[in-house]
Amino acid sequence: MLPEERAAVPDLARIVSAAVDAHQSLGRREDLRGLLAAGVVHHEVPFSLHVVESAPRGTVVRGRIDCLVERPDGAVVVLEFKTGERRIEHARQLETYVTAARAIFPGRGVEGTLVYV
């Protein structure tokens, strides 16, 4: 964390504690442990995606996928981690990330999962 970012955080200890709690909560999930242990895991995967339908000339969408898991069978799972309430925007974001993962891994099966902490 940069010094100017730290200055903008009013209660760093509370935020760190919440992050540790979220991490431990995820670690207790047997489904996630099994998926992550069985594949090759990539975190914070950057992408640029040309979206033709969004405008006459298209738009480039850039982002970072929280987690990609390459399973032993060759399929890819996109994991998008969220806190708070479920929102429709989360599903739309996951759809974009799955589309990006299909471009990164052409010809491979790609599925996405929202993981709420």
What total of structural domains would you count in the chain?
1
Q: Is the dihedral of CA 20, 25, 30, 36 positive or negative?
A: negative
The model carries a pTM of 0.80
CATH of the domain at 39: 3.90.320.10
Residue type, 85: E
CA triple 84-48-9, angle to 5 deg: 40
Range of 95's domain? 3-116
Q: pLDDT tens for residues 6-46?
A: 667 788 888 888 888 888 888 888 889 889 998 999 999 99
